[in-house]
Amino acid sequence: MKSVSDILGVDRLGHADEAEFMRRLGEIRRAAGDRATMRALHFFGENARVSDMAAAIRSADAAAYARIMLQSAASSESLLQNIFTPAQRDRSLAIGIALARRYLDPIGGVARVHGGGFAGTMQALVPIGAEDGFTRYMESFFGKASVIRAI
């Protein structure tokens, strides 16, 4: 993202104007490349979601929080492309997220990549009362103690 901020004449992307970034997107793609451009698109989107997510927390709106979390997840997966690398044979994280969503989608839960990207993990919001079933389900694929319950 440093290459993008340099093109925009700022020391950090957080100091850049998003509208200028969008106006100069073609130039940025040519100079910094698609990967840097995609990371910057994710950065601006994530920053815009922060206040919405904070508002959802303040108002105890779990549905809004989950919706914003899924928007963030979609951005992370499509723009950061950080669930796996093509050279990686192991796709445990991608499979785990897919399996978790298969279980959680019908009951209003959500799952996403979280943390260090390729070395990251999955974060899931599991509806109250579904924790034991979700844990058993995931452990049936990934083994005992593969699920860490935060609460």
Sketch the domain layout of the chain as residue ranges.
1-61, 82-151
Q: What percent of the chain stands above pLDDT 90?
A: 76
**Is it the case that residue 117 has pLDDT exceeding 90?**
no
pLDDT in tens, 37-72: 999 999 999 999 999 999 999 999 999 999 999 999
3-state SS class at 111: strand
Which tokens go with 24? 């100069």
Q: Which two tokens stand for residue 33?
A: 């490349």
pTM of the model: 0.82
Query: If you compute the radius of gyration of the chain from its CA atoms, what whole number of angstroms results?
Result: 18
Structure tokens at 143: 């083994």
Nearest alpha carbon to residue 38 among 47, 48, 28: 28
